[in-house]
C-alpha cells in the first residue's frame, strides 16, 4: 500500500496539475487544484500541457498508443504530420480539433467509431484543454500552429464534470472504464480483449499470484498499480513490463466503485 501511495504521489508531483480528490479517498495526497493555461504560452509549453492531459485526465492511452500500437485505436506517433493529409481541404489543425470533438466525422480505416467526443462527459475537456491537446498532437511529427487559449486545466470536481461515471454495477463500471478493450471475461458483453489476461476465473488465479496476499488485495493492487506485479501470461505471450495496463484507474474510479469491482472479480472462481 505504501508503494502505491508513493508512486501515485510521485505521479502527482511530476504532473504539473493535480486533480481528483475528495471523492477518491485512496489518493489522499492530491487536493484538487486548477492550473492556469495562458494565451501567451509558447508552443512548447502548450504541447507540454497537452501531453499531461493526454496522459492523465484525457485517458487517451486507454485506447491509443504513442510509438506503439494502441489497444484498439491508431498509434498517435506522427499524427502531427499525417493529420494534414487525412481530409481534403482540411488543415492538420482543423482535422485534429475535429478528431477530438467530433471523432466520428472521419473514421480512420480499419477502426471503429468508439472514441467519445472529448468535450463531453466523462472527459469534459474545456476549450483551453482541447487546444492544448491539439498542440501536443501537432508536436508529434508536425508543426504547432494552434494558438493557445486562456483557461484552466480544471479538476473535474471544480468544473462540474464527473471524475467518474455514475456506473454502479461491476459490468457497467468495466464498460465505462473500457476494461474490455484489453480483457476477456466470459458471459460479459463487450469483454473480449486480447491484450491482458482473461479474467473469467480471476478469483482463483488471483488467490495464487502472491504468497500471503489475498485475491482481493491482489486485485485491488492490480487495478491501482498494474506494474506492481506483472501477470505471467498474456494472450500473445508473456505479459510485458512495465504493464500495458494504464495506471489511471485510481483516478477514474471512486473508492466505492473500486470496492464493487474488486468484490465482483474476486468472486469469479
Q: Which residues contact ligand HEC by CB under 6 A?
A: 54, 58-60, 62-64, 71-74, 79, 82, 86, 96, 99-100, 103-104, 106-108, 111-115, 118, 133, 137, 174, 177-179, 181-183, 195-197, 202, 205, 209, 219, 222-223, 226, 230-231, 234, 239, 243-246, 249, 261, 265
Closest approach of ligand HEC to the CB of residue 3, in Å: 15
Q: Which is nearer to ligand HEC, 40 or 102 (CB)?
A: 102
**3-class DSSP state for residue 184?**
strand
d(CA 61, CA 12): 17
Q: Which is nearer to ligand HEC, 11 or 60 (CB)?
A: 60
Q: Which is nearer to ligand HEC, 16 or 111 (CB)?
A: 111
Q: Which is nearer to ligand HEC, 31 or 120 (CB)?
A: 120
Q: Which is nearer to ligand HEC, 31 or 214 (CB)?
A: 214
d(CA 133, CA 115): 15
Closest approach of ligand HEC to the CB of residue 92, in Å: 10
Closest approach of ligand HEC to the CB of residue 160, in Å: 19
d(CA 201, CA 185): 8
Closest approach of ligand HEC to the CB of residue 117, in Å: 10
Closest approach of ligand HEC to the CB of residue 81, in Å: 11
Residues in the chain: 269
Q: How far is CA 60 from the centre of its chain?
A: 5
d(CA 221, CA 208): 14
d(CA 183, CA 193): 4
d(CA 60, CA 137): 12
Q: Are 146 and 95 in contact (CB under 8 A)?
A: no
Amino acid at each position: 500500500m505504501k508503494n502505491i501511495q508513493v508512486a501515485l504521489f510521485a505521479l502527482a508531483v511530476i504532473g504539473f496539475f493535480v486533480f481528483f480528490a475528495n471523492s477518491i479517498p485512496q489518493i489522499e495526497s492530491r487536493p484538487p487544484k486548477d492550473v492556469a493555461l495562458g494565451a501567451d504560452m509558447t508552443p512548447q509549453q502548450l504541447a507540454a500541457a497537452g501531453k499531461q492531459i493526454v496522459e492523465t485526465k484525457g485517458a487517451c492511452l486507454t485506447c491509443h498508443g504513442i510509438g506503439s500500437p494502441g489497444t484498439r485505436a491508431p498509434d498517435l506517433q506522427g499524427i502531427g504530420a499525417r493529420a494534414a493529409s487525412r481530409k481534403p481541404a482540411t488543415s492538420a489543425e482543423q482535422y485534429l480539433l475535429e478528431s477530438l470533438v467530433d471523432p466520428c466525422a472521419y473514421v480512420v480505416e480499419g477502426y471503429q467509431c468508439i472514441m467519445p467526443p472529448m468535450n463531453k462527459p466523462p472527459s469534459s475537456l474545456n476549450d483551453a484543454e482541447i487546444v492544448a491537446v491539439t498542440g501536443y498532437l501537432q508536436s508529434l511529427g508536425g508543426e504547432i500552429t494552434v494558438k493557445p487559449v486562456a483557461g484552466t486545466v480544471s479538476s473535474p470536481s471544480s468544473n462540474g464534470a464527473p471524475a467518474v461515471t455514475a456506473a454502479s454495477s461491476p459490468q457497467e463500471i468495466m464498460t465505462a472504464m473500457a476494461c474490455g478493450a484489453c480483457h476477456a471475461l466470459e458471459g460479459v458483453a463487450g469483454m473480449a480483449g486480447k491484450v491482458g489476461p482473461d479474467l473469467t476465473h480471476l478469483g482463483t488465479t488471483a488467490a495464487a499470484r502472491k504468497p500471503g496476499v489475498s485475491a482481493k488485495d491482489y486485485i485491488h493492487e492490480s487495478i491501482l498499480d498494474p506494474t506492481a506485479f506483472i501477470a505471467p501470461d498474456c494472450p500473445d505471450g508473456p505479459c510485458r513490463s512495465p504493464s500495458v495496463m494504464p495506471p489511471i484507474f485510481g483516478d477514474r474510479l471512486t473508492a466505492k466503485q473500486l470496492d464493487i469491482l474488486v468484490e465482483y472479480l474476486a468472486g469469479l472462481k
